[in-house]
Amino acid sequence: MPHSTRVFWTIHLDDPLATKPDRVGAKAANLARAAQHGLPVLPGFVIPVQCASQDSGYLNTGELRAAWARLGRDGRRPLVVRSSSTQEDGAASSMAGRFVSVLGVRGWPEFLAAVKRVVASATGPGTMAVLVQPQLDAAAGGVMFGADPVDGRTDRVIVSAVPGGPQALVGGEANGTRYALTRRGRVVDVEDDDTGEDAGPGAGAGRAADGERGPLTRLQLRALARMAAKAAAVFGGPQDIEFAFDHEGRLRLLQSRPVTALAPLPPRRAVLLGPGPVAETLPDPLAPLEEDLWLVPLDRGLGEALATAGAVSRRALRRGPTVRAVGGRAAADLRRLGAAPGRRSRLRLLNPVPPARRLGAAWRVGRLRAELPALAAETAAQVDADLAAVPPLAEITDEELVAALRWVRAALTALHGLEALSGSLLEQRDGAGSAAARGLAALGRGRALGRDDPRILASDPAVLALSPPAIVPAPRLPAAAPADAPREVPELPPRERLRLRIRWVQELGARLAWTAGRRLAASGALPDPALVRALRFDELVAAVEGAALPADLERRPAPPRTAPLPAEFRLAGDRIVAEAAPAGDGARPAGGGRGAGPAHSGPDAPPPGSVLVVGTLAPSLAAHLPSLAGLVAETGSPLSHLAILARELGVPTVVGLRGALDRFPPGTEILVDGDTGRVEPLPAAPGPRAGEESVA
């Protein structure tokens, strides 16, 4: 019979045919390929797909029985009967644990039964081969990744090991000891996953060597790193490897497949991003039109301020935005704004420090500092006049509507730039008043008089400082104003005057956009006015001027309801890769003295006397401040709206405390020191001792 047409009941791993995954399945093919390149693979044979898939009566052949007898020594040596599907161990999906393997197989009837079990686990006909190898009496075994699958680091080898074979580990019965190695096998971290104990970076090398940490020695770990490197060279990329050491210390490769779902690694020079100083202005997910109306002017305004002050060159600004949308949420270039940990804050912000900045920038800043108060006052007055000149929205023509939308973006660019410069170059004294305090006072007065939200807004639009902008029929004001809200607020300093105008101009943009949506819906162009949010700015202008709407508009996704962004992250393509937290907790004092109370987080209103723990400082939190014992935020600046208002109200505030929501779950009694940045849990109050009665 010609070789090409012969039916092989068994193919040994050293046979060239054993490297053909369509005949022997991916698992066996990978082992055969590894063995032929000198990797330490146990001997074995494969029942190919075309034979294993036939009726079980065909299994009782002389060729198959002879192969079993030689490898299993007529039943004296236990065997492992393993799946080797054509659908597992691929580059896209490992199908790990999906198919059956049978351990400790000895007699011929037991062997046939094991083969039938493995074949029966196939997901489709003609997909399952059966791999047969000796069962190893292992002293230690486990799983090794030739790259860190979570962090995406290809300069790390991750090993998890347990005493004995790797079955308990891969089956999820044990976690074992986790080793992080360099590519040369130096231990950089050891963690006993069963106890949660972590030796810390660099602590594992000596302890693993003397057996105090886990089942593997330093020499064994180096042998594994060498195996990882060789397997990556053989297969063209990092591998997910099952391994075992026998009692003589010999290393065996039990399985090799590509590392699937490897986390993407950001480019080396990827920008460090985070919600940082922009999360308070725009805390909610943004629709495309909201990005164009508010985020684009914020980016341009901050860029102008940074360039004017000499903090960032215009050439650097052209390389990428200062503020951008990531998953529909606002994020800032933290290093450009000086908001990254360990950096001097430029949103302190922008005052250059001679001689590190050019003399020209220092001269400009010197003049700006003297002229900013008058410039801020003139700008605020001009914005007020321009706002008053906008026709009633019910009467505004389409041409006037487009002109007003363009003015909104231009005005916001100028206001954001001046506000950033004012915040960095002009000193603001505590108690000088803030836009949020003025809004809180106006809301308190209006609610005390029994007015509804439209009447409160008409009488004093300062209440808009308590809500973020959104293209909706009406702004969302806080549900209630506390009785002890401030009633009188001093004249606002320049920065706060500009902040209030920013919010007013944003609100005009939102109402203009909603008006445009209603008109387009009335004309039949839009099925729902809310769909206007899915348009880009240029598309909206074109539609108002009579152009057709984009054909895919109704298929565009709704504004994303994404999770809040990490405090610090980089982008690998479209994927967010969070940065590991640097040393320290990042806490910064924001003033207000000291206070203590039970932690509160979540959407419900905090009870009086509690410490509110939040991810970001949203404007809507202002209404709750007067009744709080403290405020802790994972991000934010001591110069933010909420931090300033909290100081005015005497609420102890700490910002930038990484992981605060996890560290202080609801109900935890915590102390907040706004003067030092210290936040710590308080010991539980002692209960009555035995034999004593508690006093109510």
Q: Is 130 exposed, middle or buried (0-12, 13-18, 19+ CB in 10 A)?
A: buried
Under CATH, what is the fold of the domain 138-263? D-amino Acid Aminotransferase; Chain A, domain 1 (3.30.470)
Whether 378 shows a pLDDT value over 80: the answer reads: yes
Per-residue burial over 39-69, b if 16 or more Cβ lie within 10 Å, else e, is: bebbebbbbbbebbbeeeeebeeeebbebbe
Whether 195 shows a pLDDT value over 70: the answer reads: no
pLDDT for position 93: 41
Percentage above 90 pLDDT, the chain:
51
> What confidence category does residue 201 fall into, taking pLDDT thresholds of 50, 70 and 90?
very low
Straight-line distance from the first to the last Cα atom of the chain, in angstroms, rounded to the nearest whole number: 98
Whether 568 shows a pLDDT value over 60: the answer reads: yes
Helix, strand, or coil (residue 101): coil
Of residues 156 and 369, more confidence is placed in 156
pLDDT tens-digit profile of 427-448?
Answer: 766 556 788 888 888 888 888 8
Q: Where in the chain is the domain with CATH 3.30.1490.20?
A: 1-135
pLDDT tens-digit profile of 340-351?
Answer: 654 444 444 443
Q: Which of 232-241, 555-564, 649-658 has the highest mean pLDDT?
A: 232-241
Q: Where in the chain is the domain with CATH 3.50.30.10?
A: 588-681
DSSP 429: -
pLDDT tens-digit profile of 124-135?
Answer: 788 899 999 999
pLDDT for position 209: 38
pLDDT tens-digit profile of 236-284?
Answer: 999 999 999 999 999 999 999 988 767 677 887 899 999 888 888 898 8
Across the range 198-223, mean pLDDT stands at 63
Q: What tokens were used for 309?
A: 């002050």
Calpha distance 297→307 (Å, rounded): 15
User: Which residues are CB-contacts of 484 (< 8 A; sequence separation ≥ 6)?
Assistant: 626, 627
Whether residue 1 contacts residue 223, with contact meaning beta carbons closer than 8 Å, is answered with no
Calpha distance 313→310 (Å, rounded): 7
pLDDT for position 488: 64
Q: What tokens were used for 182?
A: 């360099």
Q: What tokens were used for 680?
A: 């710590």
> What confidence category does residue 352 fall into, taking pLDDT thresholds of 50, 70 and 90?
very low
**How many whole angstroms from its chain centre is CA 35?**
41
pLDDT for position 365: 65
> What confidence category does residue 203 fall into, taking pLDDT thresholds of 50, 70 and 90?
very low
Look at 274-278, 416-420, 539-543 and tell me which has the smallest mean pLDDT: 274-278
3-state secondary structure 123-181: CCCCCEEEEEEECCCEEEEEEEECCCCCCCCCCEEEEEEEECCCHHHHCCCCCCEEEEE
Beta bridge partners of 198: 191
DSSP 332: E
pTM to 2 decimals?
0.69
pLDDT tens-digit profile of 599-637?
Answer: 999 888 899 999 999 988 888 788 888 889 999 998 877
Reply yes or no on domain 1-135 having CATH 3.30.1490.20.
Answer: yes
Calpha distance 311→358 (Å, rounded): 10
pLDDT for position 554: 83
Across the range 540-569, mean pLDDT stands at 85
Look at 211-220, 244-253, 513-522, 679-688 and tell me which has the smallest mean pLDDT: 679-688
Across the range 542-558, mean pLDDT stands at 89
Percentage above 70 pLDDT, the chain:
83
> Crossing angle of helices 494-522/435-448, nearest 10°?
60
* Nearest Cα to Cα of residue 452 among 481, 432, 472: 481
User: Which residues are CB-contacts of 205 (< 8 A; sequence separation ≥ 6)?
Assistant: 186, 187, 218
Superfamily of domain 588-681 in the CATH hierarchy: Phosphohistidine domain (3.50.30.10)
pLDDT for position 55: 57
User: Which residues are CB-contacts of 565 (< 8 A; sequence separation ≥ 6)?
Assistant: 273, 274, 275, 326, 327, 329, 331, 576
Whether 508 shows a pLDDT value over 60: the answer reads: yes
Whether residue 673 contacts residue 608, with contact meaning beta carbons closer than 8 Å, is answered with no
pLDDT for position 196: 44
User: Which residues are CB-contacts of 310 (< 8 A; sequence separation ≥ 6)?
Assistant: 352, 357, 358, 360, 361, 362, 364, 365
Q: What is the DSSP string of 225-268?
A: HHHHHHHHHHHTS-EEEEEEEETT--EEEEEEEE--SPPP---T
- What's the whole-number average pLDDT of the chain? 84
Per-residue CA distances from 567 to 67, 398, 576, 656 (Å): 60, 42, 11, 9
Across the range 297-306, mean pLDDT stands at 95
Whether 144 shows a pLDDT value over 90: the answer reads: yes
pLDDT tens-digit profile of 72-122?
Answer: 999 999 999 999 998 875 544 444 446 888 999 999 999 999 999 999 888
pLDDT for position 142: 94
Calpha distance 130→82 (Å, rounded): 6
Q: Where in the chain is the domain with CATH 3.30.470.20?
A: 138-263
Whether 520 shows a pLDDT value over 70: the answer reads: yes
